[in-house]
Amino acid sequence: MTKTILGLSGSLRRASFNAGLLRAAAEVVPDGVKLEIGAIHEVPLYNGDLEKASGLPPAVEVLQAQLQAADGVLLVTPEYNNGIPGVFKNVIDWMSRGPGLQMWAGKPVALIGASPGGFGTIMAQNHWLPVLRTLKADFWAEGRLMVSRAGDLFDEDGNLTDTDSRERLAAFMDGFAKVI
C-alpha cells in the first residue's frame, strides 16, 4: 500500500528555495511513498465574513481533501523576519476551518526549510510548534532538516543541485515515511 504525504511550500516566489526543496523531496521519497504537492497560490487572506457568506474557498476545499487523504504532511517553511511567513500561516488557518481541524488531529507532520542565511529556518520551524500543538497534529521531532546558504545550493530556477543536501533530504524523508 502506497503512503501519501501532502507537501506544502510556504512561498509564492517562482524560483523559491522552499518550493525547490519540496520538489526535491518528491524526487527522493522512498519506494512505496508518494509526495503530493499542494498549491497555496489561490488561497485568499482569511476573512471570517467571506467564510460566512461563501463557505470555504475552492482552493481550501482542495487542500482539505488532500489533507484528509494524506497519511502525513510535510511543511516546507521559509523564514521571514525570524518567523513563520504570513502567507503560509494563512493557508494553515484556512485549512483548519470547518471540518479541517479534525483532519489535522493526530496527523503526522514534519518540518523542513531552506534559507539563504546561515541558520536555515530554525526560528520559523520553532514558531510552527505551538501551531501544530493547537492543531493536535503529531509532530515528528526525530528528524530535523534546515538547509542553510541556499543561494549556493539551488540553481536560478530554484532546483536543489547540491548532492549532500539531496542525500540529507532523502534520509529525512525515509525517516518520516517510516513513522506514517
d(CA 142, CA 71): 17
Mean pLDDT of 147-167: 97
> What does the DSSP assignment read for 96-157?
TTTTHHHHHTT-EEEEEEE-SSTTTTHHHHHHHHHHHHHHT-EE--S--EEE-SGGGTB-TT
pLDDT in tens, 45-101: 999 999 999 999 999 999 999 999 999 999 999 999 999 999 999 999 999 999 999
Residue 31: its pLDDT value, please? 97
Determine the pLDDT at residue 26: 98
Over the stretch 116-149, which tens digit does the pLDDT of each residue have? 999 889 999 999 999 999 999 999 999 889 999 9
pLDDT bucket at 1, cuts 50 / 70 / 90: confident
Average pLDDT over the chain, rounded to an integer: 97
The domain 3-179: what is its CATH number?
3.40.50.360
User: Could you state, in order of their start, the residue ranges of all structural domains in the chain?
Assistant: 3-179
Is residue 162's pLDDT more than 90? yes
